[in-house]
Amino acid sequence: MPSGEKRAPPALLFAVIAATIALRLVVGALTPLTEDEAYYRLWSMAPAFGYYDHPPMIAWWIWVGRQVAGDTALGVRLLPILASAATSLLVFDAGRLAGATRATASRAGVWFNAMLLVLAGGFLAVPDAPASLFWAATLWCALRAVGGRSLTWWALAGASAGLACLSKYSALFIAPGVLIWLTVSAKGRAQLRTPGPWLAAAIAAALFSANLAWNADHHWLTFAKQFGRVTAHRFAPRYLTDLIAAQALLLNPLIALFAGAAIVVRPRPDRAGADLTAFFALAAPFAAYLILHSLHDRVQAHWPAPLYPLLAVCAAEGAARLADQTVWRRLAMAAPWLGVSLGAVALVVLATPGGVYGRYDAALPVRGWGPFTARLEAMRQGSGAAWVGTASYGLAAQLADQRGLGAPVFQLAERDRWNGLGAAPDLARPGLAVDLTRRLGAASLTGCFAAVTPLGVVTRGDPGEKGKSYAVFLVAGPRRDALARGCW
């Protein structure tokens, strides 16, 4: 570390963290759950070492949050909100451990919270929340281990990496990243001749083995789901442009610019600065995979989220290297305000009543679930249906989270998703089949039920093009075991 500087985070960083925690607590409590969050909430009601889509960490976090704050939106999101604050502090100290000045490290912590994905989405209970925290913790512990040659810190780095793998499989790229980092420096190669890194690898593998055992006992369900995306079936480089554009926006365009500058602008030899080797090495394998994936399929915008803590330090150091130039210095000062402005727009959209933005309403996924459920419940009672079935897992989870529906809900397809989740309906009795009109039609139901009667269309949100239209059918007389095999 640069000598003669205080190690504690400055008051500005604490103020930013306190303000963002308060904002996320309020927004997290008042905003209804997204479909994915509602689905992960169901996971938390049946704790296990694995699930259909992901490893179990987000389910465990939601379980803890629900014990503290109740079975509410805030309870579901409590730990992800607190994790964003912990990640901010890890970003600061990781920058300091890498040699950044206190001001640069503080800027990294502030800029992490000024990234649009973090600022506007940091309250969501999704697997990226624990994954980002444990990626940052792994790097932080490894930096301390290399600096102090401590087996304890290597053990903690391994534990963090293992917990990251239990959060999201993208954390499997941590191991080659750490290996690259240790290989390219003399100090790192010396570490490879000690037990520390190998102890870390053993601890990480031991923790991850819990999910491996679960998958082995469930026909490698999650592995087939996630690693099935790796195979390329076409060459479509247009997705690379989408990836670059989306990340430039979600990182915050100015922060993305400075992160790029850190790659091409060399540090001045007469000035203290961070050694970014560990940050680039740790990010490189996963970033390379995302680029390769984008050459044949779309990369979802949130997938790179675990790299954001690393990129915050790189961007802050890039700004420090350009601080002598007035234009760059002013852009660096504007970066957090740009992030706040973009985040404010997102929150205004979320808080604005439905109908203002028409079909382009980005907040429509969380709007109108109460009235929609009430209309659906009235149709269920009027038709004598004993259960509700959907074509999509998200709608099934969202309806299961609504308190106004008085019947069990299940998904008509993808039955492997629901192993041990939810109450089993009595399909010998009539039920309602409901989903978006583009996803569900009478023809798709006749192969599963002998009687299919259209009951009409229910709109969630404003009528017409400003909402989402759901087709509703009364079905009876199952032709197959839909609970075990699904309708499709």
| Radius of gyration (C-alpha) of the chain in whole angstroms | 24
Tokens of 205: 């593998």
What DSSP assignment string belongs to 445-477? HTTTEEEEEEEEEEEEESSGGGEEEEEEEEEEE
Strand 388-390 with 431-436, pairing: parallel
H/E segment holding residue 318: helix 308-321
- The answer to whether the beta carbons of residues 291 and 69 sit under 8 Å apart is no
- pLDDT per residue as tens digits for the range 382-433: 999 999 999 999 999 999 988 888 899 999 999 888 888 877 889 999 999 9
Residue 5 pLDDT grade (very low, low, confident, very high; cuts 50, 70, 90): low
188: left (phi over 0), alpha (psi -120 to 50) or beta: alpha
Under 8 Å between Cβ of 54 and 44:
no
Instruction: Provide the b/e sequence for 236-261 (b: ≥16 CB within 10 Å).
Output: eeebbeebeebbbebbbebbbbbbeb
**Pair 465, 485: CB distance under 8 Å:** no
Residue 326 CA to residue 260 CA, distance in Å, equals 18
Q: What is the pLDDT of residues 267-320, one digit of tens each?
A: 877 677 889 999 999 999 999 999 999 998 899 999 999 999 999 999 999 999
Cα–Cα nearest to 184, from 310, 283, 279, 277 = 277
Contact in structure between 104 and 316 (CB atoms under 8 Å): yes
In tens, the pLDDT along 96-111 reads: 999 999 999 999 999 9
For the chain, what is the mean pLDDT?
A: 91
Q: How far apart are CA 353 and CA 363, in angstroms?
A: 10
State what percent of residues in the chain have pLDDT above 70. Answer: 95
Here the tokens at position 102 are: 């206190």
Burial of 476 from C-beta contacts in 10 A (0-12 / 13-18 / 19+)? middle
Predicted confidence at residue 1, as pLDDT, reads 47
**Which pLDDT band, with edges at 50, 70 and 90, does 258 fall under?**
very high
Sign of CA dihedral 174, 176, 178, 181: negative
Residue 31 has pLDDT above 80, yes or no: yes
Cα–chain center distance at 82? 15
Q: At residue 145, does pLDDT exceed 80? A: yes
Q: What is the pLDDT of residue 354?
A: 67
